[in-house]
């Protein structure tokens, strides 16, 4: 059974720092991996999608990497800002019709 783990569970940093959020999954037979942002009480905003054949994806200050064989992905946030404060969720697609298995998230606080 696929399990997704995110480390750390929470992170508090000063503005301007570069950050790395970690995601690991137990079954490497995934089709894709998606990173989301969730603000308190809100929906999920898609940040990056990495297909299983890809090694990384970039969008602005965000870069996500995927090492499928070792069951790991990292989300790199450059030059963090207070507006980046949110919970970041990692989810893997286990095939079928894109059923996503989610991690518990990393709660990020960026203080001025």
Partner 1 sequence: EPEVTQTPSHQVTQMGQEVILRCVPISNHLYFYWYRQILGQKVEFLVSFYNNEISEKSEIFDDQFSVERPDGSNFTLKIRSTKLEDSAMYFCASSSGGRATGELFFGEGSRLTVL
Q: Which spans of this chain sit near partner 1 (rule: CB under 8 A)? A: 31-32, 34, 36, 41-46, 49, 51, 89, 91, 93-105
Distance of alpha carbon 44 from alpha carbon 83, whole angstroms: 16
Chain centre distance of CA 70 = 16
Give the residue with the Cβ less far from partner 1, 13 or 44. 44
Least distance CB 26 / partner 1 (angstroms): 14
Query: Please, which residue, 43 or 60, has the CB nearer to partner 1?
Result: 43
For the bound state, the minimum distance from the C-beta of residue 32 to partner 1, rounded and expressed in Å, comes to 6
- For the chain, give me the number of helices (H) and strands (E)? 0, 11
Q: Which of 22, 1, 31 is nearest to 77 (CA)?
A: 22
Return the number of the residue (12 or 98) whose C-beta is nearest partner 1.
98
């Amino acid at each position: 059974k696929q399990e997704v783990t995110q480390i750390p569970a929470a992170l508090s940093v000063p503005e301007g720092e570069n950050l790395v959020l970690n995601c690991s999954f137990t079954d490497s037979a995934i089709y894709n991996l998606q990173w989301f942002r969730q603000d308190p009480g809100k929906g999920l905003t898609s940040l990056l999608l990495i297909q299983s054949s890809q090694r990384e994806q970039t969008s602005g200050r965000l870069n996500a990497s995927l090492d499928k064989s070792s069951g790991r992905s990292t989300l790199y946030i450059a030059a963090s800002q207070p507006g980046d404060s949110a919970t970041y969720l990692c989810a893997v697609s286990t095939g079928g019709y894109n059923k996503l298995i989610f991690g518990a998230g990393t709660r990020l606080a960026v203080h001025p």
